[in-house]
Amino acid sequence: MKTSKHIGIVEHDGWLEPYEQAIQGRHDHAMWKLQQLTAKGRMTLSQFANGHEYYGLHKTNDGWVFREWAPNATDIFLVGDFNDWKETDAYRVKRIAGTDNWELKLPHEALQHGQFFKMHVKWQGGQGERIPAWINRVVQDETTKIFTAQVWNPEPYQWKNTTFRPNTTPLLIYECHIGMAQDAERVGTYDEFRENILPRVVADGYNCIQIMAIQEHPYYGSFGYHVSSFFAPSSRFGTPEQLKQLIDEAHSQGIAVIMDIVHSHAVKNELEGLGNLCGDPNQYFYPGERHEHPAWDSLCFDYGKDQVIHFLLSNCKYWLEEFHFDGFRFDGVTSMLYYSHGLGEAFGGYGDYFNGHEDDNAICYLTLANKLIHEVNANAITIAEEVSGMPGLAAKIEDGGYGFDYRMAMNIPDYWIKTIKEQKDEDWKPSSIFWEVKNRRADEKTVSYCESHDQALVGDKTIIFRLIDADMYWHFKKGYENDNVNRGIALHKMIRLVTASTINGGYLNFMGNEFGHPEWIDFPREGNGWSYKYARRQWSLVDDKDLLYHYLGDFDRAMLETIKSEEAFNETPVQEIWHNDGDQVLAYMRGDLVFVFNFSPARSFADYGFLVPAGAYDVVLNTDNPAFGGFGLTDDSITHFTNYDTLYAADKKEWLKLYIPARSAVVLRKKP
């Protein structure tokens, strides 16, 4: 059998050949580090990543044991409810001889479930109260707003679903935030999400929820991206057991649960976070110019330290095993990959990924993280949020890639925003649209999306708001529509359909955007009087059948049902049938499904012909259906038969002729 002389991703993409040495070097670096961390294979990576079982606070058969990695400390005390927040010898933590680890063993009666505590750490020239780095329960006092560690030892949660395996072909993600997932102007809970929102996700046809803001973070408005306690699920939303119950219930409904994991940076706070745990600001973070992120006001992990790799890998394993998460969407991967964090970079050619400004330590960590995650759970899902286009990110590790299962297709929402903002409707080009939604590396799966939470934040606009703007407030009741609203509703459906139907891995929607949620996201802050008005989702709008929102929600549900109806949708190639930029018409096939779009704002076409496999075709979805807020200009009950043409008989192709109204799309299925 002939074997390639090239590493896998170079074999798949010949344009990478000039950079093969760099690709091989990165791979070899990760494999070298793997050997080092696993004692040359004498243990598995999963066995290495057990820091959460050693560090932190644990109840054992013999009592309590507390451990912390604190190389710069000279003295550590636990202070809390149990000793009136005073330093006492009974709660003095001692350095383990010859190590940087500190340990305290206590009898069972020394600590009680629910008690609050902190570390009082001393170092040369200073001291301070700190929350332990590995602690798994942190709460905020509602009055003082101060965060405190909590002794947490309830009855173990009894899992009902222990053998769940995601059925995510294709992967259909409902991106969500627990706190803002309710109508009320307050912080929502894990229980409320489980009871009120999860049934909506199931009914809408999604098979995965991606939960934001799980890791504890001091500032609610950070959207969970300024993490302080990496092993503690945010107590704003409830208890760890309530989070487990939510995940358990999702699994019982066939829904996979992944979390946004933030390993790209950490909050600068010293009292709550890792910023200066024991007098050394660089304990977890890069020193010097690389210490702080220039754009995010946060701290950058030092991925070159084995202890930091141990901390982060253990964090991955902890969430998988303790909470049964099905994987992760890694936030800020671009920031990790480059010394510049990708800021001000153009990334115009392959050379820009291999010019020496890449952080090989971070690349090594990400590779090991993916290896570990899939070692712990072979069915786990990992997704990279990465904007630069780094080749190999979602390629197999053995092929020289970094091992992610998917990468975010971040070009697509940027394209839609630019198109809506800068082009007249009559200038939209189907050829450009088709190229953009299919612009991806052949050997890497992507998650396509029109918009995520990023496009819903204050300072930006959702697609529906860009299309309709203030008319949503005055013309979204049935009978009060105007031309602008009709245009927005039509394009909203078409944009989603062309994006979702051309995926090669997954599709993502942020909660509420499926029905055109009318307002942006603005968390409580000083500038808005600490209001929760815009940090919620108004489900009452989509539930009110007198309003137009339900048309978009109903279409989204039907769209996903159509996609799932085609067996092995991901493995079915997208085959272009036709595009004409002058007519603004696009058509393509996936399996037995034919997708036809007419983006023209004013021109409808009668008997518009496409060459397709000979046979009969039924309409299965039409954006112009009155059930989805359309005008019903076509009769979708009829079967369309192809017309014979001797010129194409040898190819078994015939003409499918359709009436396609302006600004509409239709999906047909070839009958057996």
Do 262 and 316 meet the contact criterion of CB atoms below 8 Å apart?
no
The token pair that represents 208 in the structure block: 């995965």
Catalytic residue, from 385, 556, 566, 624: name it. 385
Find, among 247, 206, 248, the residue nearest to 553 by Cα: 206
Quick one: 578 exposed, middle or buried, by C-beta within 10 A (0-12, 13-18, 19+)? middle
Do 68 and 78 meet the contact criterion of CB atoms below 8 Å apart?
no
Do 656 and 610 meet the contact criterion of CB atoms below 8 Å apart?
yes
Q: Catalytic: 306?
A: no
Q: Catalytic: 526?
A: no
Residue 66 forms beta bridges with which residues? 57, 104
**CA distance linking residue 440 with residue 436, whole number of Å:** 9
Instruction: Catalogue the E-assigned strands of 37-181.
Output: 56-60, 63-69, 73-80, 92-95, 101-106, 116-123, 126-130, 138-140, 147-150, 171-177
Residue 458: DSSP 8-state: B
Residue 596 forms beta bridges with which residues? 587, 666
Residue 590 forms beta bridges with which residues? 593
Find, among 191, 175, 181, the residue nearest to 238 by Cα: 191
Residue 156: DSSP 8-state: P
How many CB atoms are closer than 10 A to CB 94? 11
Catalytic residue, from 68, 331, 399, 436: name it. 331
In single-letter form, the type of residue at position 172 comes to L
Instruction: Catalogue the E-assigned strands of 189-343.
Output: 208-212, 215-216, 229-233, 256-261, 266-267, 292-293, 298-299, 327-330
**CA distance linking residue 588 with residue 605, whole number of Å:** 17
Residues acting as catalytic residues: 331, 385
